[in-house]
Amino acid sequence: MTNPTAAMLVIGDEILSGRTRDANMHHLASELTKLGIDLEEVRFVGDTEAAIESAARALSEAYDHVFTSGGIGPTHDDITAECIARAFGAPIGIRDDARALLVAHYERTGLELNAARLRMARIPEGATLIENPVSTAPGFSLGNVHVMAGIPTIFQAMVASVLPTLTGGAPLLSQSLRVNRGEGEIADTLSQLASDFDDLSVGCYPFQLNGVFGANVVVRGTDGTRIDAAVTRLAAELAL
């Protein structure tokens, strides 16, 4: 059986402008790898309604799971919740269970639950809340789309809340081999290895250190025995 597939939709003008560096993709990829869900695409869009809606629909149709980050806060440019609702034809409004979470949180903190903060209780009809143990305001899952905050600590907490509810596959394993030769010298050897071990992924990642060219060869797959065999053969052929 093949592993479930996933895509990520990163939302925010601040990401595309270079003002903010995305950290969430790396975290999500690592966690999905452990669970045996293959992250196959990551798409970046700005705070534009049409772009968010069309990307969400396309990714939802193409993959088993879609994870979004960004755009569910209290300000005017936090439009993700409405866009996801429209993308799938779901009504959206302040939901009682989400409001209750915010009321309790702001009572504990002594802060005012004003109109801006209440916007974070907008949840599409039919969605399931995603727990947020960091700042309480929930994300939500609508169908196979999991909508989460962009702040890394909150995103990570929401990922931890969602993943136990999903069915994974075989975790992706990997081994790496450092080769102090340029890519051009080892290309034919790697090509033959990839052909003979076509159930594995063989990646070559070059580097230059103190004027010397080299490469880190990474072999990935779900069968540890096959990975061992491929790496052992490669090391022997390159006399490492």
Q: Is 136 left (phi over 0), alpha (psi -120 to 50) or beta?
A: left
How many Cα atoms sit within 13 Å of 117 on the Cβ side? 16
How many Cα atoms sit within 13 Å of 212 on the Cβ side? 8
Q: How far apart are CA 45 and CA 135, in angstroms?
A: 25
Residue type at position 24 = N
Q: Which residue has the tokens 């869009």?
A: 45
Token code pair at residue 103: 């009321």
pLDDT in the model for residue 130: 98
For residue 2, the 8-state DSSP code is P
Token code pair at residue 146: 């999991």
CA-CA-CA-CA torsion sign (99, 103, 106, 111): positive
Residues 194, 93: contact at Cβ < 8 Å?
no
Q: How far apart are CA 146 and CA 65, in angstroms?
A: 8
Q: How far apart are CA 159 and CA 177, in angstroms?
A: 31
How many Cα atoms sit within 13 Å of 52 on the Cβ side? 28
Q: Which residue has the tokens 């009809």?
A: 125
Q: How far apart are CA 63 and CA 169, in angstroms?
A: 15
- In the chain, the domains with their CATH numbers are 5-165 (3.40.980.10), 173-237 (3.30.70.1130)
* 3-state secondary structure (DSSP) of residue 201: strand
Geometric angle at alpha carbon 73, from 112 and 127, rounded to 5°: 105
Q: Write down the pTM of the prediction.
A: 0.89
Q: For the chain, 240 residues long, give each residue's pLDDT as a single digit of tens.
A: 689 999 999 999 999 999 999 999 999 999 999 999 999 999 999 999 999 999 999 999 999 999 999 999 999 999 999 999 999 999 999 999 999 999 999 999 999 999 999 999 999 999 999 999 999 999 999 999 999 999 999 999 999 999 999 999 999 999 999 999 999 999 999 999 999 999 999 999 999 988 889 999 999 999 999 999 999 999 999 886
Q: How many other C-beta atoms are found inside a 10 Å radius of the C-beta of residue 166?
A: 17
* 3-state secondary structure (DSSP) of residue 163: helix
pLDDT in the model for residue 1: 66
For the residues of 61-123, what is the DSSP string, one character each? HHSSEEEEES--SSSTT--HHHHHHHHTT--EEE-HHHHHHHHHHHHHHT----HHHHGGGEE
pLDDT in the model for residue 240: 65
pLDDT in the model for residue 209: 87
